[in-house]
Amino acid sequence: MSRVYNFSAGPAVLPESVLGRAAAELTEYQDTGQSVMEMSHRSKAYEAIIFGCEKSLRKIMSVPDNYKILFLQGGASSQFAMVPLNLMRSGKADYMITGQWAQKAFEEGSRFGTATAVASSKDKTFSYIPDVEKFDKDADYFHICSNNTIFGTRFDKLPDVGDIPIVSDMSSCILSEPIDVSKYGVIYAGAQKNMGPAGLTVVIIREDLIGNAREGTPTMFNYKTHADNQSMYNTPPTYSIYMHSLVLDWIENEMGGLEKMKEYNQKKAAILYDYLDNSAMFSATVQRPFRSLMNIPFVTGREDLDKKFIAEGVKQGFVNLGGHRSVGGMRASIYNAMPIDGVKALVEFMKEFEKSN
Ligand SMILES: *Cc1c(COP(=O)(O)O)cnc(C)c1O
């Protein structure tokens, strides 16, 4: 049995060298005589891991000093509630509806105040990013989902909303390219796509947005709790944070940082999109300017052929190519850790399939 090419949308492929390092350190971490999983989070050895991880993420993403990095749990889905609990001071927020996750964030936000859907691309099955023509200038924040994991779109530019803090769900694109963190109020992401294994949720938040949680906010749902305690108010997801730190080392030392990561991701995505745009059988479903570098949905136009393709793929070591259960078709998630050889091999397989069907 050898490793497959895993196109899962999440939890997703991890760099092989990261898995190798984790394996080598699994039972004894450095000279501690114990696994990272067994360590007290209050120990010196673990403090070095979590603080080192924070430092490394801050450096790689150029996170400004007036932003806190929080290592939380509960997934990106918990942030759908944590954001309004902490930021909806006047009770109003704007949301862009560009996919299923954005819709869920909007619905959750609506439970805490007046959430307004200021733009939506639902009319064309979320295949593009709509313009923002009108928005509430008094809103407490403006929520977007930078990369739509299910439908495969991404923002090609940020909407101009003046001083309203932009809150972005970056679960499926964080660390895929450099971004200007100072343009955002809050960035959050579940780790299981581009950062490491599941169990860790990363929040990057401008300091002035911390400390204004509404009355009754549970202690664990208050950003201030975690900011004041360096993400160790309670037991953090220790092993996932350790794995995240290894992924960050890989980005910095093996991939050469985010500028290089972006070039690599663009190269990978271009291989697949070019083939899709020239194939007589397969086609991409997303309008060109909004195509994701991370999640690439495609179809044959025939459900039976889609099914056959997915099944034959599995036999050849290409797994998790089925589209999200809500949309069908295929989707190749090609996150940071998907090697370019995996994308090339997939395209070769698609060419063969096209010839013989
Ligand atoms: C995967 C994903 C989520 C859900 O993340 P959980 O950590 O499972 O809650 C939310 N938003 C986006 C954009 C995602 O890709």
The Å distance, Cα 130 to ligand 1 centre, comes to 21
> What pLDDT score was predicted for residue 219?
98
Dihedral (Cα; 158, 160, 166, 171), 10-degree rounding: -10
User: Which atom of ligand 1 approaches the CA of 150 most closely?
Assistant: 15
User: Which atom of ligand 1 approaches the CA of 145 most closely?
Assistant: 13
Active-site residues: which are they? Answer: 101, 169, 193
Beta strands 295-299 and 283-284 are antiparallel
How far apart are alpha carbons 145 and 96 in whole angstroms?
8
Q: Is residue 10 in contact with ligand 1, taking CB distance under 6 Å?
A: yes
> What pLDDT score was predicted for residue 1?
63
> What pLDDT score was predicted for residue 324?
87
The Å distance, Cα 77 to ligand 1 centre, comes to 6
How far apart are alpha carbons 197 and 10 in whole angstroms?
9
Mean pLDDT, the chain cut into blocks of 10 residues (357 residues total): 93 98 98 98 98 98 98 98 97 98 98 97 95 94 98 95 97 98 98 98 98 97 98 98 98 98 98 98 94 97 96 97 89 98 98 97
Distance of alpha carbon 135 from the chain centroid = 26
Q: What share of the chain is helix, strand, coil (3-state, %, to 5)?
A: 40, 15, 45
Q: Is residue 171 in contact with ligand 1, taking CB distance under 6 Å?
A: yes
CB-based contacts of 213-222 (< 8 A; 24+ apart in sequence) = 213/85, 213/86, 214/85, 214/86, 214/88, 214/89, 214/112, 217/85, 217/86, 221/78, 221/81, 221/82, 221/85, 221/86, 222/85, 222/86
> What pLDDT score was predicted for residue 13?
98
Phi/psi region, residue 180 (left: phi>0; alpha: psi -120 to 50; beta: rest), is beta
Ligand 1 pocket mutation, candidates 171, 292, 295, 331, criterion most atoms within 8 A of CB: 171
How far apart are alpha carbons 188 and 63 in whole angstroms?
13
Q: Is residue 295 in contact with ligand 1, taking CB distance under 6 Å?
A: no
pTM exceeds cut of 0.85: yes
> Is the CA virtual torsion 1, 247, 203, 144 positive or negative?
negative
Q: Is residue 109 in contact with ligand 1, taking CB distance under 6 Å?
A: no
Q: Is residue 231 in contact with ligand 1, taking CB distance under 6 Å?
A: no
